Every structure is written in structure tokens, then in C-alpha cells.
Amino acid sequence: ALLPALLLLLLLLPLAALAAAALLLGLPGYDIPPGVNQPAKLRLVLTVLLGTAALGRILEKTGLCSQITFGRYVRQGRKLGLDPKLFIQDLQFNEVPVRVYQPKATSDGPRRGILFFHGGGWVFGSLDTYEKVCRYLSRESDSVVVSVQYRLAPEHKYPAAYEDCLSATQHFLQHLERFGVDPARVAVCGDSAGGNLAAAVSQSLAGSSDLPRLRAQILIYPGLQALDFNLPSYHQNRGVPLLFRERAAFFALLYLNGDALHMQEVLEGSHIPPDMRLKYGKWVSPDNIPEEFKVRGVKPLRPTDFIAEVYETVKRFCEPNLCPLLAEDSVVHQLPESFILTCEYDVLRDDGLLYKKRLEDNGVPVTWYHLEDGFHGIISLYDYCGFSFPSGKRGLDRVVNFLKSL
């Protein structure tokens, strides 16, 4: 169905561009802050996103393909040609598709190993989407990178993506010698939803005695909780692309249940019982956000009535494999050295800041890098069709520098 969809895309592209422009002018909810990196280019990215969404809705209504299918097609990227510096092969680890990047240059000894889990809200993204990012990480850090193609929502609900990432990681840890990887230097890495998966996998393996211990976890603007969508960053950046506040809740619900029912109640906070909110308040609270991140304003939390029926549909949000920020201290203190990247103009900024505090409170060494002019998804745009941003490259290089230190 994608062929006729593409023909329709060509016919409707000018209309979509006009529709997107109208949306930009008519909806003040979309916000490009003046401090963001290259605001004019980000506005262009937003126009493309809105145009794609508009076309997706048209195609779905005409029955040609679903909006999600079209969105995946537009974002899927393509597998690149041969790389003179890398040996690249597509394999399966425990029936999970992976793409392995190995430097061709000779090495004095075993290399680092990196498990990479892509972002995309657990709904979008593929091995091809992150080709350039993974190639860059492998080349620049002289590491073996394993990019994991986990199953996507809504077709495959939680815990499918987590189980695939854990299974692929376990397989890799059992066969490191085959890839010339040092068992003492294996890290998990991911951005956005991939950062969520990397954190969950790291927690699951923290107490394992029959596999090599992970050397590090690298979390790039990770989403780590779904209890409170009213933290300061969720309101300060609610209309900033590439991730809006409502979309953050939408993706979490799609991953959890395969649908986005009760999204408004989740955004308002009606989905968590008062006793549970009190229990997790010591970890998920604006009080734990440094004051310098509140200068752009903090929206007072309005009391909301708890709705038991909603909680019954989303109670697995309290599982650490889905929301790693809620793991007990007994797990957190076993975690490996960590790198966390946050962006100022990102709804998920405070998730990363809260996890940074939890790790530090439990004695885990943390390297934190904050892109003051960055926004959510900036790393994934690296060398992407002219849409890359200098600060995204800067963040990616900080990841490389951290890897080299291991």
C-alpha cells in the first residue's frame, strides 16, 4: 500500500506544506525558544513533522495505510553503502535482529563493546534510521557497536521491546570473544526510548553473576518515568519539537497498552493512587530538580482526583522495567558508571536530572553533559538530510569521549 501512498504524497506535498505552515502560524502551542540551537532550522524540521503527520492522517482516512505505517516509512532511513573503516553485518541475537559494526583497523587487544538501542517512542525507528549515529560511534571510539532492532509498539506492547533488548544483550555478553570485545568494557547506550531501554537492561543485569558485568550505561535524554507529566521541564518545553508533552504520554501509553486511552487523565496525574504518589515522591518530585532549571517557570501542581479505573489500565507504569526511575535503592546502587545527556529544551530533561540524583545518592559515578541550546532528538538528526545541528554533534562527541575513557 505504500506505493500508491507515495504517489499521493507527491500530489499532496504542496498542500501539506501549506497546512503545516498554517498550523505553525495558528497554533501558539508550538514553541521554538529563542535560546534553542538554530531556531530557523528547527522550525523547518517542525514544518516537515507537521506535514508528515497531516499526510499520514489523510492516508489513514483513505485506507491506503495507517498513520503509524506512513510515519515509519518516512523516518526509516536507508542502509548505507560500504564503509571503508568498518565491517558491518546483519545478524540475529536470540532471534532479535541486530546490526554489528566492527572497526577494520587492527587493535592491540580486545575492543569496547556497545549495545545501542534506538529512540522513537518505542513506536518508530530502525537499524537504518540510526546507521550514521552507530557508524560514527564505532569509528570514533574504536568500538564494536551492536544496534538492536527491538519489536515496536503498538503491535508489540510492553515488555516486548525491553525483552528483546535484554535478550540481545545477554547473547552478546555470552559471545564477546567472537567479536573481539573486552568483557570488562561493555556498555549499553540509547537515546530517548532507547535510553529507557538501556536503563532497564542495566538494572536487570546489575545483580547478575553469570555474565560479565556492564562497564557503563549511556543514557541520552532518556524517558524514565510515567508518573508525573507535570515536572517543570514538561511545562517549560511542552510545545518544543521534536517531542511535545502530550506525545510523551501518548508514546508511553502506546508502548504500555497498545492504545492511548486515558491520555488526558495520565497528563493530569489522575492515574496514580495517593499512597503510591507519596511513596515515589521521594524520587519523582520537582523538589529534586536544581533551582537553576526552574527559572523559566514552574507550574503549581493542581490537586487531581484519583481515578481507580484508569489506574487499573496503567498500573504497570510502576514497574522499573518500564519506568527505571522507580527502581529500589538496592538495585540502583549496583549500577555501573553512567553518562547522562540532557537538553534544556526537552520535556524529558527532568527525567534525566532526577535519575542523575538517584545514581549519585547511591554512590554511582555519573558523568553529566547538558546541552543548554539542545532539544529532544537532536542526536538522532546527526548528518540527517541536512537537518543536523552543531550542538547535536557536540553531544555525540561527548558520548565518544566518555567511551574512550572506559
Coil, strand, or helix at residue 79? Answer: coil
The reported pLDDT for the residue numbered 9 is 52
Same domain, 230 and 370: yes
Instruction: With respect to residue 82, please indicate whether it lies within any of the assigned structural domains.
Output: no
Q: pLDDT for 374-400, tens place per residue?
A: 999 999 999 887 889 999 999 999 999
Structural domain includes residue 84: no
Measure the CA–CA gap between 176 and 165, rounded to whole angstroms: 16
Q: Which of 75, 98, 114 is the endpoint of a domain?
A: 75
Measured in degrees and rounded to the nearest 5, phi and psi for residue 216 equal: -160, 160
Which residues, in sequence order, are CB contacts of 353 under 8 Å at separation 6+?
288, 289, 290, 293, 342
* Domain annotation covers residue 369: yes
CA distance 220 to 377: 9
Same domain, 212 and 335: yes
> Which amino acid is present at 192?
S
**Residues 37, 131 within the same domain:** no
* Arithmetic mean of pLDDT, 257-283: 95
pTM of the shown model: 0.93
Same domain flag for 153 and 43 = no
Q: Is 376 a catalytic residue?
A: yes
Write out the DSSP string of 182-235. Answer: EEEEEEEEEETHHHHHHHHHHHHHTT-SSSPPP-EEEEES----SS-TTSHHHH
- When divided into structural domains, the chain yields a total of 2
pLDDT at 29: 62
> Which of 48, 75, 102 is the last residue in one of the domains?
75
Pairwise CA distance, residues 190 & 194, whole Å? 4
Beta-carbon contacts of residue 299 (< 8 Å; ≥ 6 apart): 230, 232, 235
174, 98: one domain:
yes
Q: Domain check: are 204 and 240 in the same one?
A: yes
For the domain that residue 139 is a member of, what is the CATH number? 3.40.50.1820
Distance (Å, whole) CA 53 – CA 103: 38
Q: Is residue 349 in some structural domain?
A: yes
214-224 pLDDT, tens digit per residue, is 999 999 999 99
Angle of helix 390-404 relative to helix 131-141, nearest 10 degrees, comes to 40
Q: Are residues 194 and 313 in the same domain?
A: yes
pLDDT at residue number 338: 98
**Residue at which a domain ends, from 18, 45, 75:** 75
Q: Is 167 a catalytic residue?
A: no
312 and 385 co-located in one domain: yes
pLDDT band, very low/low/confident/very high, at 27 (cuts 50, 70, 90)? very low
| Same-domain check for residues 287 and 359 | yes
Instruction: Give the pLDDT band (50/70/90) at residue 73.
Output: confident
pLDDT at 312 over 90: yes
pLDDT of residue 16: 53
pLDDT computed for residue 23 by the predictor: 52
pLDDT at 18 over 50: no
Contact 51, 65 (CB under 8 A): no
Full domain range(s) for residue 342:
90-406
**343 lies in some domain:** yes
The H or E element that residue 87 is part of is strand 86-93
Among residues 147, 376, 388, 391, the one annotated as catalytic is: 376
Asked, for residue 207, whether it belongs to a domain, the answer is yes
- Is 346 one of the annotated active-site residues of the chain? yes
- Marked catalytic residue, from 164, 191, 228, 346: 346
Is the domain of 185 the same as that of 97?
A: yes
Cβ atoms of residues 309 and 195 within 8 Å: no
Residues 63 and 111 in one domain: no
> What average pLDDT score do residues 360-378 get?
98
SS3 string, 278-291, reads HHHCCCCCHHHCCH
Annotated catalytic residue within 126, 143, 192, 233? 192
